[in-house]
Amino acid sequence: MQLGFLVDLHLCMGCKGCEIACKVENEVPLSTWRLRVKYVDVGTFPETKRTYTPLRCNHCENAPCERICPVSALHYIDNGIVNIDKERCIGCAGCVMACPYGAIYIDPETQTADKCTYCAHRVASSMMPACVVACPVQANIFGDLDDKTSNISKYIMEKNGDVQVRKPEKGTNPHHYYVGGGNVTLNPLASFRAEGHSLFNDMKHLPVGGHH
């Protein structure tokens, strides 16, 4: 079994329901996010459009975070999920540095690394991840990539040619796919991130692990 995720960006409307569901389900502390939806505006007025991109851990087949973790706190489980053992983590932040997707953070409450686990605890009870359940337009598709009859496998087959991963050149083989993605949505260097140009005006950067 190889669990994977696909987000159809044609369907996503940026409601952030997935973001909130994730926060609630996993009790993600203030100032940190396992999953977030990024808004990027493209073009010049009046020819503009807004794009929405949910960003979470890619559960890579060749995960740099798993490789760099000195104590195997980040580890693979049988269904392909890259899970984290917070009791074992020493908080060296090697994984935060190694992840090319910025998907890992230091939890300010536990002072250990944390990230999206595809809701491994829910999956173990045969439930869908919280973000999948919350999505009102079924833009999040989750399932077994090894099973040709799963929804995600069928979706990938149908949308063949419009399916992408983030930063494929890094050789991480992500198990997280995007339909309808492009340079602006998947490459952080393709958009300008201005100081104070966001709802979180004075919060462009946060101290890692909170104030301690």
Partner 1 sequence: MVHETLSATHAVVTLDVALPGIVWPWFVTMNMWAKSIGTGIIFMLFYLSKKYANDDAVGALRFPVAMTSMIFISIFLLFTLADLHQPFRMWHIFFYPHWTSPITIGAIMASAFAGLLTLLLYFSFVKKDNAAYDKVFFWTMLLAIPVTLYTAALLAMSTARELWQMPTESVQMILAATLSGSGAMILLGNKLSYEAKRDMGIVLALSAAMAFIIYMSEYIFGPMKAEEVAATLEFIKGHGPYTTMFWLGQVFAFILPFVLIMLSFASKSESLLKLAAVSAIAGLWIVKHVWLMIPQLLNMS
Give yes or no for a contact between 101 and 55, defined as CB atoms under 8 angstroms apart.
yes
- The region of 88-96, 116-124, 134-142, 153-161 touching partner 1 under the rule CB under 8 A is 88-96
User: What part of residues 50-79 is at the interface with partner 1 (CB under 8 A)?
Assistant: 50, 55, 64, 67-72
* Of 77, 120, 128, 184, the one binding partner 1 by CB under 8 A: 184
- The region of 76-84, 135-143, 150-158, 194-202 touching partner 1 under the rule CB under 8 A is 194-202
Give yes or no for a contact between 104 and 208, defined as CB atoms under 8 angstroms apart.
no
User: What part of residues 114-173 is at the interface with partner 1 (CB under 8 A)?
Assistant: 166-167, 170, 172
Give yes or no for a contact between 186 and 166, defined as CB atoms under 8 angstroms apart.
yes
* Of 126, 148, 196, 199, the one binding partner 1 by CB under 8 A: 199
* Of 10, 136, 173, 193, the one binding partner 1 by CB under 8 A: 193
User: ∠ CA(134), CA(163), CA(175), 5° rounding?
Assistant: 65
Looking at the Cβ atoms of 154 and 170, the one nearer to partner 1 is 170
Give yes or no for a contact between 11 and 37, defined as CB atoms under 8 angstroms apart.
no
Looking at the Cβ atoms of 146 and 200, the one nearer to partner 1 is 200
- Buried b or exposed e, range 170-197, using 16+ CB within 10 angstroms: bebebbbbbbbbeebbbebeebeeeeee
Tell me which residue of 58, 140, 72, 70 sits closest to 100, measured CA to CA.
58
For 169, the token pair is 């050149």
31 binds partner 1 (CB under 8 A): yes
* Of 127, 137, 146, 200, the one binding partner 1 by CB under 8 A: 200
Give the shortest CB-165-to-partner 1 separation in angstroms: 13
Cα separation, 154 vs 209, in Å, equals: 40
What does the binding site for partner 1 look like in residue numbers (CB under 8 A)? 31, 33, 36, 38-44, 50, 55, 64, 67-72, 88-94, 96-103, 105-106, 111-112, 166-167, 170, 172, 183-184, 187-194, 197-200, 203-209, 212
